[in-house]
Amino acid sequence: MEFRAPMILLATLLGLAAPVERVAAAPAVLHLAPDSDTRWVSFELTPGNQIRFRTLLNGRWVDALLDTGVTDSAVTTRFARSAGLKPLVSGRADAIGGSVALSWTGIDRVEVGGLVRTGGRVAIIDADPRVTGNAPIDLFVGSDLLAGHALEIDYDAQRFRLLPSGRLPFRGVTLPLRLADRSGLYLSELALGDRILRPVIVDTGDGGMVSLTRSVWQASAPRTVRTTTAIAWGLGGVVENEVAVVPAVRIGGLAGEVELRVEADTGFSARKGAAGRLGGGWLRRHRVLLDPRAGRMVLAAGERAAWPITRSTSGLMVAPDRDRLRVIHVMRDSPAAATGWRAGTLICAVDGAPVASAARDWAIGTPGRRVRLTLCDGNERTLTLASFY
């Protein structure tokens, strides 16, 4: 799996398709500055490959995520309370992991790079902090703000900008891109083997590389590929998927090995009528232009384009728990599964070193290596790393 903090092996999914509700708010007016091409926005990548940046909402600086998998921009319940935003209309929205409760409120002004929107509505959602990593998020910037313009994301320089639709600031491989009629999700396509799969949701808020529905995977899967399991958090809760590393995925003229997740046919992609999703874990390997109004996505290989996929060799997915590590999932058919590890186990030391100072790559180490893990109950266990998917 490819993550910036590989020991944690924690993927993140967002996805929010909100129903249209009437809210007593000033009409939304969007304005893109004439010099928007100079208004780059710096960002950092979260451990889940999400684009995190600072921007202004109602005159207040907020922490935001750039998320094309969110239909309507949303603020967290925590931020709404602190900012005095009153919920006006309640409802529910479809999200990765299940439906979530939300409410709607009006806002005065939001700025994203050279784009300013005055008036309009925003959703209020109770977001699980595990969705966005350790640092809380105030605002999810979604399709309602982004889709009318060209969005250029320079992952190597960690910056993005909004441009007038139709601009072509760099050359690369071009794929079709459109908006879903009802949800406003970004839709494109990819190829697995000799099959073209469409539509595929393009989701900058999904930390994974590629996801497919189970029925699409079963019809297209290479016979020799081994699968395991992994978990991730969506706005609607925890999701467990099958995971495989597949060498033959083509996206436009770009081909290579990808980590692929297999979703249930009752999952978010299938509910939206899509074959799957293309996420930030794959997009971050490229310079990206998303311009649904012009009908295209443009990709140029970046510095990370040839990075190998990082795979677990332990089968332990862990998360920080104060000065310990908590096992949150044991991957199927892994060394950890074969030796009886269970979710919930607490680890206090690795090879004799406290968790805080231990090597961070132990869970993805060289097959055959023996790792000594000290549990917080004082017991010690040895895990022999191996390739298992």
Q: Which CATH architecture has domain 173-301?
A: Beta Barrel (2.40)
The pair of three-digit structure tokens given for residue 299, joined into one six-digit string: 């990709």
Q: Compute the distance between CA of residue 360 and CA of residue 351 in angstroms, rounded to an integer.
A: 11
Q: Compute the distance between CA of residue 279 and CA of residue 310 in angstroms, rounded to an integer.
A: 16
Per-residue pLDDT of the chain (389 residues; tens, 9 = 90+): 333 333 333 344 566 666 655 555 689 999 999 999 999 999 999 988 999 999 999 999 999 999 999 999 999 999 999 999 999 888 888 888 888 889 999 999 999 999 999 999 999 998 777 777 667 899 999 999 999 999 999 999 999 999 999 999 999 999 999 999 988 999 999 999 889 999 999 999 999 999 999 999 999 888 889 999 999 888 888 899 999 999 879 998 888 899 999 999 999 999 999 999 999 999 999 999 999 999 999 999 999 888 889 999 999 999 999 999 999 999 999 999 999 999 999 999 999 999 999 988 999 999 999 999 999 999 999 999 999 99
Q: Compute the distance between CA of residue 67 and CA of residue 266 in angstroms, rounded to an integer.
A: 22
Q: Which fold has domain 316-384?
A: Pdz3 Domain (2.30.42)
Q: Compute the distance between CA of residue 244 and CA of residue 257 in angstroms, rounded to an integer.
A: 10
Q: What pLDDT is attached to residue 135?
A: 77
Q: For residues 258 and 249, is the Cβ–Cβ distance under 8 A?
A: yes
Domain ranges across the chain: 11-163, 173-301, 316-384
* H or E, element range at 91: strand 89-95
Number of residues that this document lists for the chain: 389
Q: Do domains 173-301 and 316-384 have the same CATH topology?
A: no
Cα distances from 365 to residues 5, 226, 301, 361, in angstroms, run 14, 19, 28, 6
Report the predicted TM-score, pTM, of the whole model to 2 decimal places: 0.91
Neighbours of 109 (CB within 10 A): 14
Domain 11-163 falls under CATH 2.40.70.10: yes
